[in-house]
Amino acid sequence: MAECRGLGHSVQRKEDARFIRGQGRYIDDIKLPGMLYLDIARSPYAHAKITRIHEDTAMAVDGVAAVITGKTLEGFKLAWMPTLMSDQQMVLPVDTVKYQAQEVAAIVATSRYAAADGAAALEVDYDPLPVVVDPHEALKPGATKVRDDKDSNHIFHWEHGDADGTEAALAGCDTVVEQKMHLPRIHVASIETCGCVASWNPVEGHLTLYLTTQAPHAIRTVVALVTAHLGLAEHKIRVISPDIGGGFGGKVPVYPGYVLATAASVVTGKPVKWIEDRSENLSADSFARDYHITATLGSKNGKVTALKLDTVADHGYSDAAANPSKFPAGLYHIATGSYDLENAHVSVDGVYTNKPPGGIAYRCSFRVTEAVHAIERMVDLLARENGEDPADFRLRNFIKPEQFPYQSALGWEYDSGNYGAALEKAMDMIGYQDLRAEQAEKRARGQLMGIGISSFTEIVGAGPSKTFDILGIKMFDSAEIRIHPTGKAIARFGTKSQGQGHETTYAQIIAEELGIPPEDIQVEEGDTDTAPYGLGTYASRSTPTAGAAASIASRKIREKARKIAAHLLEADEADLVWEQGKFHVKGSPDRAKTIQDIAFAAYTNHPQGMEAGLEAISYYDPPNLTFPFGSYICCVDIDRGTGQVKIRRFVAVDDCGVRINPMIVDGQIHGGLTMGIAPALLEEISYDADGNITGGNLMEYLVPTAMETPHWELGETVTPSPHHPIGAKGVGESATVGAPPAVVNAVVDALWHLGVRHMEIPMTPARVWNVLNEHGAAATR
Amino acid sequence: MIPPSFDYHAPDTLEEASRLLLANPEAKLLAGGHSLIPMMRFRLAEPAALVDLRKIPGLSGIREDGGSLRIGAMTRESELEKSDLVQSRYPLLADTTRVIADPVVRNLATVGGNVAHADPGNDHPAAMLAYRASFVAAGPSGQRTIAASDFFTGPFSTSLEEGEILTEIRIPEAGPGSGGAYRKFERKVGDYAVAAVAVQLQLDGGRISGAGVALTNVGLTAIQAGAAEAALVGSDGGDAALDAAAEAAAAAADPTDDHRGSADYKRAVVRVLTHRAASSALTRAREAS
């Protein structure tokens, strides 16, 4: 029997054969007969009344077949749609636009070029209205009101933890640090933008929706609920999510373009394709972050005791965040991080502004990045205020291995961890003490070098049905496995890979459980007509949920296989011993039947009274979340002449529990680290006072290339999750979440002796130079 | 990101190209297309016609002839990168080419396009000013040569006349004691410069006998910093002279506040880069002595 290559093997990715040969099938590769194309005319203003849309100006363009406006949709009660956070957002405005680049009208044409020309030709009359872009301004009395249907710009107040206890604990601290910080708007900027092909069959009353979505099943249900009044029902809707070129949370929401293409297909009776361009993607799709945080952290006798976070969250004109429904600020209350902290309180106030709606979790399990940034910055500050090295301070204040399962002050039960081991390993790898000595030497010579640590704890794998749902649908996920007579298999899942390598890792889990080699297992996701129902892929949940389902379904199959083996071997079930890939009779290893033998028998020679076939399905409801963690150490040099921060070394020690495919894990960490240093150094979407976007194209939105990316030095520790069937925790987002504060801490460390205590991100050369200049440390050569 | 429709011409001769330009006032020349096509895709430029130069023979190549390095206007940036002649004898040009956009762009983008597009953010104009280069143009009234210092008249505008086409770039042939450097500071690879500085030096008996200093993206055009040049000429290239040149270059810069930084910051970057470029140019000139 071939080696089954289950857990722990760097199996080459099954999906790469098609990806590296250009044979992936993405949304824009889908072409249907008679297909029309849709383009969107967008608002040049951040806030304006639409006085007239001159539809004839677009209709005059050759090839334009239809112009859809908010008034058209209003007739079908489709001008507004619900968001996942029980707010609503416009598909198209009936009378007022609320942010620059908002959809104003859809142009349907016989070619993509004609559609674009129609959108450019469409004349719209606007009356500009006052704009509010700063969420603090938006909260002041008399501020311009963003939403006509709301009383104020204040969306929600959410808080968690013991407010009074935390205040009392802070009052009793001998050392307290407070710091304001802003995590600016950023965008996932996936290589593939969003798009869809909607194909309505008027005869069958059936809609096929090819969609760049991370959650095809949930989208099908949402579409059914939103269009029920028009006669569409869920069994007549098929959502197909083809290959996806990066999701990172940006392909969780429903965008107006999807609804418009669907409406256009229903109206025209033809398939309609909508593919957004890069500028639309950056300036109108859901943003991430935009948290204004005031953090307070206190210690007594060198022991961290109390954390307080007060937060203003800028959601744009609609709360279109993609969170589990009971969590308006996501899992922000993981904010006590890796530290044994008895008192904590966090609050978030959501605010409307004249900006695009959001925000989504950019490669992050719902606001965990914001939480980690806050605690890791504050621990660094508090360490120094205590006169202690940030590494030593962390090591003393970590939750200890023997405290797991650990009840956090904000109500989570951390499953497992060994934080000190991870940090010590990272310190060994980077040569922490030597770097500190080098830094002292360099500082004496006037050179700026810094070392920054981030010891993050993540919270992923949403989630247990008791608390986690999206619009009421519990956040389980699923696997369905069928073993064919020849011992090959097909496995289908409710999740959807966007580059994570599910086709390989899921096959490896099944290989581990059943002994069928990964190459003999076909893995499919994304087609709601064939795959079992699941909530999709985001928040590092695929391995914790669907991966667990793969194990459980495999084990169900193994139990049936045992019965068949007993029949074939004429032995008692209880006398059979499972070794990977076969059952043998206890004491007689030669009396054995492989899983392939058993599969054949399941269709040709199954016991009397047993149903034929060998398959199983599992809908896995995780008993708890998983808590991956790690310690990152970043070493930077700063050019005193230009303000440029150069990452010299970056060591990342990750603990994601049991590793399924180490190569894929490393790849996830490499990508995540790159996406982690990006907001620290480069990426930001900002707006001027009139609400004009800056950063709406890739000349201004600075996505790092290979040239900006340092060499990553990876290390690992393995602390299995005690509740996951194979001990895995999920790893897709750890690096994005953990990396930013390591870079900030390194830069602040480099500048500490000048009196610098904080840096906002992104730490652009201009921003760093300004700080150098203010402190008289800028060089002229 | 879809441009409006336009006519497309690919003439075989310069005369025909020139005629097409004169006949279509809304036409644009297409060389490598890596500035023009993005502008068309954003619909910031909507030319009625494109006149593609790629079929016209004799517009590319790199050679030394008649006391000049002659570069055909349609020479791709990547050809400069691969040219032993450029790499071994024209370090300022070699430095400049290497920091233009990214390798994929440089495979198609042309030297002539970078010069004639006259974007103040383009890198070749400053290098050409520092080199004291001249440009050969062909048009309805024949061929003429324009000094780099007379060429850049404003943002995206040059002294080329209607129907005139840039055909060749001439850089004074490198001799003993010459050396140069280009120092560009960019937010990320592929970005336009926050600021960049070109320095070309001639050494004579250990002293600087000739200097060209020019600045990228800190004004409406590339800026020749005459006072910085004057600070270097006659000196031995010591730190005092370099500091004086750097100060003069910073004063010559005329930047504006934008997302790359404040005007003050950009001036500071010019100061730093001038020192660094001059220092590197000096080392190279000494090596070439």
B191 neighbourhood in chain A, CB within 8 Å:
699, 702
A688 belongs to a structural domain: yes
Q: Which of A116, A641, A704 sits opposite B188 (nearest CB)?
A: A704
Q: Is A517 exposed, middle or buried (0-12, 13-18, 19+ CB in 10 A)?
A: buried
A217: closest CA among A238, A203, A245?
A238
| Of residues B2, B262, B264, nearest to A116 (C-beta) | B2
Check: CB of residue A520 under 8 Å from CB of residue A485: no
Distance in angstroms (rounded) separating the CA atoms of residues B234 and B232: 6
Show the 3-state SS of A636-651.
EEECCCCCCEEEEEEE
Q: Calculate the CA B64 to chain-centre distance.
A: 19
Residue B31 belongs to a domain:
yes
Give the residue from A546, A554, A548 showing the smallest Cα distance to A518: A554
Q: Please say if A522 is a catalytic residue.
A: no
Chain A residues within an 8 Å CB radius of B275: 780-781
One domain, residues A651 and A707:
yes
Q: Indicate if A733 belongs to the active site.
A: yes
Specify whether A202 is located in the same domain as A334. Answer: no
Does A295 share its domain with A429? yes
C-alpha torsion sign, points A244, A245, A250, A256? negative
Structural domain includes residue A580: yes
Interface contact B185-A642, CB threshold 8 A = yes
Q: Is B162 left (phi over 0), alpha (psi -120 to 50) or beta?
A: beta
CA separation for the pair A743, A755 (Å, rounded) = 18
DSSP per-residue codes, A16-62: HHHHTTT----GGG---TT-EEEEEEE-SSSSEEEEEEEHHHHHTST
| Contacts of residue B15, Cβ cutoff 8 Å, sequence gap at least 6 | none
Best residue in B41, B194, B199, B243 to probe A by mutation, most A CBs within 10 Å?
A: B194
Q: CB–CB of A705 and B189 under 8 A?
A: yes
Instruction: Assess whether B71 and B167 both reside in one domain.
Output: yes
Mean pLDDT of A92-119: 98
Mark the ranges of chain B whose per-residue pLDDT is less than 50.
Answer: none
Neighbours of A457 (CB within 10 A): 29
Residue B158 belongs to a domain: yes
What Å distances lie between residue A423 and A348, A455, A742, B67, B98, CA to CA?
31, 7, 12, 63, 40
Residue A692's pLDDT band, with cuts at 50, 70 and 90, is: very high
pLDDT of A729: 97
- Residue B202: inside a domain, yes or no? yes
Render pLDDT for B45-82 as a digit per residue (tens, 0 to 9): 999 999 999 999 999 999 999 999 999 999 999 999 99
Same domain, yes or no: B110 and B212? no
| pLDDT of residue A4 exceeding 90 | no
CA distance A97 to chain B (A): 22
| Interface test with chain A among B44, B99, B265, B279, by most A beta carbons within 10 Å | B265
A97 and A70 in a common domain: yes
The span from the CA of A576 to the CA of A9, in Å, is: 28
Average pLDDT over residues A458-468: 95
Distance spanning both ends of chain B, measured CA to CA: 51
Beta strand A489-493 with A629-638: parallel, antiparallel or unpaired?
unpaired
Has residue B277 been placed in a domain? yes
Q: Which residues of B touch A697 (CB under 8 A)?
A: 42
Beta bridge partners, A588, equal A585
Q: Residue A501 has which token pair?
A: 């390598």
Specify if B186 maps to a domain: yes
Q: A707 vs B189: CB contact, 8 Å cut-off? A: yes
Does residue A139 lie in a domain region? no
Please indicate whether residue A767 is annotated as part of the active site: no
**Which among B1, B42, B47 is positioned nearest to A115, based on CA atoms?**
B1
Q: Which residue of A has its CA nearest to B266?
A: A766
How is residue A197 written in tokens?
Answer: 């092909």
Task: Choose the closest CB to B187 out of A117, A641, A765.
Answer: A765
The position carrying tokens 């071939």 is A2
Other C-beta atoms closer than 10 Å to the C-beta of A385 total 17
What CATH number should be reported for the domain holding residue A243?
3.90.1170.50
Q: Is the pLDDT of residue A213 over 70?
A: yes
Quote the domain boundaries for residue B14: 7-51
Nearest residue, CB atoms, B188 vs list A117, A642, A708: A708
Residue B252 tokens, joined: 């010559």
Least confident range of A74-78, A661-665, A751-755, B26-30: A74-78
Q: Which residues pair with B170 in a beta bridge?
A: B70, B134
How close B271 comes to chain A (CA, Å)?
6
Q: Do residue B261 and residue A769 have CB atoms under 8 angstroms apart? A: yes
A137 in a structural domain: no
Q: Do A602 and A630 fall within a single domain?
A: no
Give B-chain residues touching A116 at CB under 8 angstroms.
Answer: 2
| Choice among A4, A173, A196, A364 that is catalytic | A364
**Tokens 């311009």 belong to residue:** A144
Instruction: Output the 3-class SS for A379-403.
Output: HHHHHHHCCCCHHHHHHHHECCHHH
Do residues A642 and A728 share a domain?
Answer: yes
Given a contact cutoff of 8 angstroms between Cβ atoms, the answer to whether A177 and A297 are in contact is yes
> Is a pLDDT exceeding 60 seen at residue A110?
yes
**Looking at residue A230, what is its pLDDT?**
87
CATH number for the domain including B168? 3.30.465.10
User: With contact defined as beta carbons under 8 Å apart, do B119 and B133 qualify?
Assistant: no
Contact A708 B43 (CB under 8 A): no
Which of A601, A620, A639 lies at the terminal end of a domain, its last residue? A620
What is the C-alpha separation between B189 and A548, in angstroms, rounded? 42
Provide the 10 A C-beta neighbour count for residue A123: 12
pLDDT category of residue A5 using cuts at 50, 70 and 90: confident
Number of other residues whose CB lies within 10 A of the CB of residue A141 = 5
Given the residues A100, A214, A508, A596, select the one marked as catalytic: A214
Q: Is the pTM of this model over 0.90?
A: yes
In single-letter form, the type of residue at position A70 comes to G
Count how many domains chain B has: 3
Residues of A in contact with B246 (CB under 8 A): 780-781
Render pLDDT for A351-397 as a digit per residue (tens, 0 to 9).
999 999 999 999 999 999 999 999 999 999 999 999 999 999 999 99
Q: Which percentage of chain A shows pLDDT scores above 70? A: 100
> Per the structure, how many domains does chain A have?
3
Question: A593, A620, A647: which is the final residue of a domain?
Answer: A620
Does residue B249 share a domain with residue B158? no
pLDDT score recorded for residue A1: 44
Q: Cβ–Cβ of B272/A641 closer than 8 Å? A: yes
B1: chain A residues, CB-CB within 8 Å: 277-279
Residue pLDDT, tens place only, A709-759 = 999 999 999 999 999 999 999 999 999 999 999 999 999 999 999 999 999
| Residue A695: pLDDT band with limits 50, 70, 90 | confident
- What is the phi-psi region of residue B47: left when phi exceeds 0, alpha when psi lies from -120 to 50, beta otherwise? beta
Closest CA to A362 of A214, A232, A468, A218: A214
| CATH number, domain containing residue B35 | 3.30.43.10
Q: What single-letter amino acid sits at A521?
A: I
Q: What is the ipTM of this complex?
A: 0.97
End position of a domain, from candidates A247, A275, A303: A275
Query: Would you call B2 and A779 a contact, using CB atoms and an 8 Å cutoff?
Result: no
Q: Is B91 helix (H, G, I), strand (E, B) or coil?
A: helix
- Give me the residues paired with residue A524 across strands: A492
What integer best gives the mean pLDDT of chain A? 97
Q: Do residues A527 and A216 lie in contact, with contact meaning Cβ atoms separated by under 8 Å?
A: yes
Within 8 A of B4 by CB-CB distance, chain A residues are 117, 120
CATH code for the domain in which residue A483 is found: 3.30.365.10
Task: Let me know whether A629 and A608 are in one domain.
Answer: no
Tell me the CA end-to-end span of chain A in Å, nearest whole number: 67
Output the pLDDT for position A247: 96
Nearest to A120 among B43, B246, B261 (CB): B43
| Residues of A whose CB is below 8 A from B268 | 641, 769, 773, 778, 780
pLDDT score, position B20 = 97
Q: How confident is the model at residue A701 (pLDDT cuts 50, 70, 90)?
A: very high
Are A378 and A715 in contact by the 8 Å Cβ rule? The answer is no
A634, A742 Cβ separation under 8 angstroms: yes
**Does residue B281 lie within any of the structural domains?**
yes
Question: Is the Cβ–Cβ distance between A75 and A21 less than 8 Å?
Answer: no
Among residues A349, A376, A377, A364, the alpha carbon closest in space to that of A291 is found at: A349
What is the C-alpha to C-alpha distance for residues A458 and A460, in angstroms, rounded to an integer?
6
Which of A279, A682, A780 lies at the smallest CB-CB distance from B271?
A780
The token pair that represents A276 in the structure block:
């957004």
Residue from B115, B112, B117 nearest B126 by CA: B115
With 80 as the cut, is the pLDDT of residue A491 above it?
yes
- Angle between helices A419-430 and A432-444 in degrees, nearest 10: 50
Hey, is A270 helix, strand or coil? coil
A411 within a domain of the structure (yes/no): no
DSSP letters for A457-504: E--BS---TTT-EETTEE--EEEEEEE-TTS-EEEEESS--SSS-HHH
Q: Do B260 and A766 touch (CB under 8 A)?
A: yes
- In this complex, how many residue pairs, one in chain A and one in chain B, have their CB atoms less than 8 Å apart? 77
- Whether cis (ω within 30° of 0) applies to the bond prior to A405 is yes
Q: Up-side HSE of residue B127: CA atoms within 13 Å toward CB? A: 29
Amino acid (1-letter code) at residue A607: P
Q: Are residues A516 and A394 located together in one domain of the fold?
A: no
Tell me, what's the pLDDT at A292?
98
Compute the average pLDDT of residues A658-686: 97
Q: Which domain holds residue A640?
A: 288-399+416-462+624-774
- Let me know if residue A735 belongs to a domain: yes
Q: Would B56 be classed as within a structural domain?
A: no
Q: Are residues B130 and B210 in the same domain?
A: no
Contact B1 A277 (CB under 8 A): yes
CA distance A475 to A131: 38
| Closest residue of chain A to B43, computed from CA coordinates | A120
In a domain, B1, yes or no: no
| A327 shares its domain with A440 | yes
Pairing of strands B49-52, B7-9: parallel
